[in-house]
């Protein structure tokens, strides 16, 4: 059985919420909340990958593990690849990318993705859930995915896919199943190291979707289906307040 590593990329800079990983939520920093959720998944190898000493020090303060990475990585995938190289992980190990701004990510979601990748021998895996509101299909901030009969992605897009010509103008779901992509990934280490070496592709640039690069170069992406999407992450001060209210409510129960 492959060893599973969880890597949490965390940058201090954020255009909408600077210092986001160190923002306090119910008395703990956001990065600690994310780390603790990852611990609940049962996997022992958990690392925060950061280019900021303040974040590394914070992780050390709550007895977590952090690795300092370069500050010029164009994407989280590149940062994860550096961690895999520095750590000397085996090529067939599985690395799960847990975003550092998702303090409510259910640990069972992490376990499900790890099991999906292990059992399918996939080189790259991600998750999706069915869309039930027509407005979500037409929302460019919600990425859609179309899959084949094996559960491998055909394409990801911000546009409504598939195109239902009988209902498209009505903004109706009709009898078509639409799926929303959930941005958590599991990589085999050999694939994780390969992706940063691939050239950018026109589809990736047009859609502004990083996952289209490996697909363009022939790397298949396995997609697991969840019954519902995990809670939304933190992008803004309003999101931060919303998460704090949820955690406060949970502590009162």
CATH number for the domain harbouring residue 221: 3.90.550.10
Domain stop point among 45, 78, 105: 105
In this predicted structure, what is the pLDDT of residue 167? Answer: 67
Say whether both 164 and 134 belong to one domain.
yes
Say whether both 224 and 130 belong to one domain.
yes
Say whether both 46 and 119 belong to one domain.
no
Mean pLDDT over each residue of the chain, to the nearest integer: 92
Say whether both 122 and 222 belong to one domain.
yes
Residue range 49-103, pLDDT digits in tens: 999 999 999 999 999 999 999 988 888 899 999 999 999 999 999 999 999 999 9
Say whether both 98 and 121 belong to one domain.
no
Residue 147 lies in a domain: yes
Tell which residue, 28, 93, 98, 27, has the closest CA to residue 63.
28
Say whether both 32 and 80 belong to one domain.
yes
Residue range 27-36, pLDDT digits in tens: 999 999 999 9
Residue 33's domain comprises: 1-105
pLDDT band at 134 (very low <50, low <70, confident <90, very high): confident
Residue range 182-228, pLDDT digits in tens: 999 999 999 999 999 999 999 999 999 999 999 999 999 999 999 99
**pLDDT over 70, % of the chain:** 96
Residue 240 lies in a domain: no
Say whether both 43 and 140 belong to one domain.
no
Tell which residue, 156, 235, 185, 201, has the closest CA to residue 81.
185
Say whether both 77 and 151 belong to one domain.
no
Query: Using an 8 Å Cβ cutoff, are 49 and 85 in contact?
Result: no
Residue 252 lies in a domain: no
Say whether both 89 and 156 belong to one domain.
no
- How many domains, in total, are found in the chain? 2
CA angle, residues 20, 24, 29, in degrees to nearest 5? 75
Q: Token digits for 30?
A: 């956001």
Q: 100: how many CB neighbours lie within 10 A of its CB?
A: 25
Say whether both 127 and 218 belong to one domain.
yes
Residue 9 lies in a domain: yes
**Number of H helices and number of E strands within the chain?**
9, 11
**Cα–Cα distance measured from residue 194 to residue 149, given in angstroms and rounded to the nearest whole number:** 26
Residue 137 lies in a domain: yes
Say whether both 75 and 130 belong to one domain.
no
Say whether both 133 and 56 belong to one domain.
no
Domain stop point among 105, 129, 150: 105
**Cα–Cα distance measured from residue 55 to residue 60, given in angstroms and rounded to the nearest whole number:** 9
Residue 236 lies in a domain: no
């Amino acid at each position: 059985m492959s060893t599973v590593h969880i890597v949490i990329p965390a940058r201090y800079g954020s255009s909408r919420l600077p210092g986001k990983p160190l923002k306090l939520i119910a008395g703990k920093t956001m990065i600690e909340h994310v780390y603790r959720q990852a611990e609940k998944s049962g996997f022992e190898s958990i690392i925060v990958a950061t280019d900021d000493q303040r974040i590394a020090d914070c992780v050390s303060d709550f007895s977590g593990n952090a690795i300092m990475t370069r500050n010029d990585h164009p994407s989280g995938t590149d940062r994860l690849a550096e961690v895999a190289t520095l750590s000397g992980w085996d090529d067939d190990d599985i690395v799960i990318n847990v975003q550092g701004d998702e303090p409510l990510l259910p640990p069972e979601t992490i376990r499900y993705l790890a099991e999906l990748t292990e059992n399918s021998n996939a080189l790259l895996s991600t998750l999706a859930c069915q869309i039930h509101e027509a407005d979500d299909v037409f929302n460019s901030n919600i990425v859609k995915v179309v899959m084949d009969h094996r559960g491998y992605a055909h394409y990801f897009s911000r546009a409504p896919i598939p195109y239902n010509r009988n209902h498209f103008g009505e903004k109706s779901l009709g009898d078509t199943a639409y799926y929303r992509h959930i941005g958590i990934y599991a990589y085999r280490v050999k694939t994780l190291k390969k992706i940063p070496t691939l050239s950018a592709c026109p589809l990736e640039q047009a859609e502004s979707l990083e996952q289209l690069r490996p697909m363009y170069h022939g790397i298949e992406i396995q997609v697991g289906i969840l019954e519902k999407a995990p809670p939304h992450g933190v992008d803004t001060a309003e999101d931060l307040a919303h998460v704090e209210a949820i955690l406060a409510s949970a502590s009162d129960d």
